[in-house]
Amino acid sequence: MGARADRPSGDRMVAVIEGQGWLDKPSYKIEHGMALALNLLGPAGVRVRDFLHGRWFGHPLHPMLTDIPAGAWTAALVLDGMAVLAPRPEGFKDAARAAVGAGLAGAAVAALAGLADWQFTHDNARRIGLVHGTLNTAATGLYCLSWIQRRGGADHRARWAGAAGWAVMAASSYLGGSLVYRHRIGVDHSDKELEPRQFTAVLAESELGAEPCQVQAHGVAVVLARSGGAIYALGEHCPHLGGPLSKGHLSRGQIICPWHGSRFDLATGTCRRGPATTGPPRFATRIRAGQIEIRRIPPVPAAPPGRVLARQQHIRDQEEARGDRRP
Ligand code: FES
């Protein structure tokens, strides 16, 4: 059996789509159209884009929103089946129509969030994303048709349109999963190492100029930057797609990713502008014997157990970082 036959059919389907270079031309036209529309909105466009990425939520919005049409349309499929089998189908028919309508509303919002995320993909991920979006549009069109037919009493045709829409949606969902699983779209790309746990010298203070600088500490890449007389340290890799923050530039206490312009607060690591939805890890810094030393600040758990102890540790970390406490 050949290597090709050994590959799962899903793999082969994805590989075929990834090889379609002609998809790039329409992709860039759509992307440029979107960028133009958002730029025309000015600062409101930035807020809209950040909202759609999910920066306010600290998590990409699109994967969560897709559960609405997927769940509602699957429920409609089951209800349609029950309406066929039940001796008194009226209740099932009404419920199926409501589920189709709820799925349509969810699909519209999910599509906007998905477009906002897709705008910043590249190469193979962009091609998969384009086909994923096209299939979703086709599924939504079929459910629109199904909705109209249900309202007109053409139940039999409405069920077939709905079933076809569900099949298209299922194929599209596979591609959506592929975008996350293979291409790591929507995944946090920042380094999650807990090192260095102790203060570690990484650079002579005199060597850090006005530009950000990448250093290594126990194999962890970190970006150092000066701002307002203080020295800050953040994880080198942008959480969005792993862009090198040390190649970015500084502006008003923030570091800007060179790849897609996400902004991160140097003092807190907070993401101030997307497409990233969360910030990189943060490190405490201090100067000892002319050397910049850094230590990882562990994230504070949001809930018990150990909440109080973790909070105390966090406060100690901050005091050490400011030089108020000796480690
Ligand atoms: S990699 Fe996309 S904003 Fe940093």
- Identify which of 122, 183, 257, 263 to mutate to test ligand 1's pocket (most ligand atoms within 8 A of the CB): 257
The confidence band for 306, taking pLDDT boundaries of 50, 70 and 90, is low
Ligand 1 in reach of 59 Cβ (< 6 A): no
Hey, whose CA ends up nearest to atom 2 of ligand 1?
A: 260
Mean pLDDT of 154-160: 92
| pLDDT digits 0-9 by tens, 231-253 | 999 999 999 999 999 999 999 99
Residue 11 corresponds to which tokens in the numbers above? 């793999």
Hey, whose CA ends up nearest to atom 3 of ligand 1?
A: 260
Q: Cβ neighbours of residue 78 under 8 Å, at least 6 residues apart?
A: none
- How much is the pLDDT for 308? 53
* Higher per-residue pLDDT: 316 or 301: 316
| pLDDT digits 0-9 by tens, 35-72 | 898 889 888 989 999 999 999 988 899 999 999 999 99
What are the distances in angstroms from CA 294 to CA 157, 208, 239, 254? 66, 14, 20, 19
- How much is the pLDDT for 100? 96
Per the CB < 8 A criterion, the answer to whether 116 and 56 are in contact is no
- How much is the pLDDT for 319? 61
pTM: 0.82
What is the H or E stretch that residue 210 is in?
none
